[in-house]
Structure 1
Amino acid sequence: MTSAPVTQPLPPQVFPPTLREVMLRPRWIALLAFSLVVAGVLAWLGQWQLGRAVDTSPPEPGLTEVVQPLDQVVQPGDYLPEPLVGQRVEVSGTWVASDFIVVSSRFNDDVEGYWVTGQLRVAGAAAPTSIAVAAGWTSSLDAANAAADELERQVSADPTAVVQVTGRLISDEGPSVPPSGADPLTITRMSPPMLLGRWHDTAELNVYRQYIASQTAIGPLDDISSPAPDERSRVNWLNIFYAAEWAIFAGFALYLWYRLARDAWEKEVEDLEDEQAEALAESSTSSSATGAAESRG
């Protein structure tokens, strides 16, 4: 009589954890707390940026057209705040005879030409102080050079004559490289630092970073066309864009925590399934071997 083969018991089934159970483990709760702190900081930065996207106290319309003394608008060496770019100012001083310089690529009502600029030594300053002034415009380079020579002769005849200049205060346009093949001393941008490099008697001299575009031509030149600046929008769209970026970063910090926790859960489930499959395979193999041995017996 042949006995029935002995069946090996199946390994106990272990159920994998749920995603919620993994997320509630101390490690992931701690990481969630850190992610919330990071997201909170990023959200605060977004709110801070958004608060500066709308100008709640914009300058009054037409404020740039009210002529103000130069020293009440900006000080030598200081940068000009954006709302004051194009502000009409007045200043008195004396010209430096040898520092009338021609600047090219200047447009007057869409007509390209030249500015004649000069160094105005500000009167009444506690220390020697100068500001660059665009004295006038002309369409011809020869006329610009002739005007610069004429102004130098006039100032040399009376170097102590005090003049008053009224015009728009404009920020430095930055340095530039002369066009290829042009005179290396050619200046195509209205840049006080570049003019300073060619001015005379500049030892211990305070210089304004800005320049004045005179609204009344000086000498044998035409008036510079300098309309009032456009009214600024109260909304700064760049700041709004930055605020949106901070919000996205805050959301990403939380999503990253979720993604890491889910990846850990999926790996744990996969490892558990592999272990159970291996245990089941081993149990089946063991049962087959036992049955074969008993049959031979």
Structure 2
Amino acid sequence: MIVFALRRTLGFAATLLLAALAIFFLLDLLPGDPAQFILGISATPEKLAVLRTQLGLDAPAHERFVGWVWGMLQGDFGTSYTQQAPVAGLIWERLAVTLPLAGLAMILSVLVGLPLGIIAARWRGKGVDTSIMVLAQMGVAVPSFWFGMLLTLLFAVALRWLPPGGFTPWSENPLLALRGLVLPSIALALPQASILARVMRTALVDVRGQDFIRTARAKGLTMGEAIWRHGVRNALLPVLTILGLQLAILITGTIIVENVFYLPGLGRLIFTAIGERDLVLVRGATIILVLAVTATMLLTDIAYALVDPRLRERSPS
């Protein structure tokens, strides 16, 4: 297990390095001059040259990349061009919105998706199964931002039960902060719950034909009892992998939903920084998203190997 975890960790580090290279140099190739954007079109060449030197833009690209990576290893993500504040502090403030949003959406998707998948498998081929699968297909097809707008029209505009957007800081009023995350978390959770329901149903349908289910039925258990006591646990292996993927998707998927609901999260920070051509801020925030996704996948691989030892025994890498 130690060797397996070490190999996965080395792959995690290599992925981060490649992602950092791609993020840095692709953003570096974008047209436009950050110094020109900051000073405006009326800036003189002398002022532009001074600001480029202050920002470090006149150094070779490879030197700036090495300095950027070395700084991040020490916790220094640089200073935002436009906000004149440490990037690490700006990211940390926005994670207080993005991480609870992704976590709440994950909890909702599990609480809704897994029970629906179990019910559909229990009544396979019946009307309940067909209805759940039709709803799941619709949930996968509906974009989160469009569903979010429908939720806003219903619960914020028509019923006025929840706020249509914005966010109250946790330190001011935790209850209002949580209320501000309800609608966007539901919008994020819909497609993920639909996928979980389909995966759970498929896994349980496969398990239903196994010998241990027939043995449980022969001992007097009903099909529902056999599935709940013995089938669900064995069907969770493929679901575990999907859960890891979904958490990564939810973290990155907040970018669009945060802009729909005007949430001051990491996704909105990236969106604003791109518009202002604040490359330092874009790089720092993007690498944090990559770190969150790759770390989630690493932990998922290790958790899967702990549950199923066959995976680490036959894994060539």
Q: TM-score, normalised by structure 2?
A: 0.17
Structure with a larger share of its residues in helix: 2
Structure (1 or 2) with the greater strand fraction = 1
**Bigger radius of gyration among the two:** 1
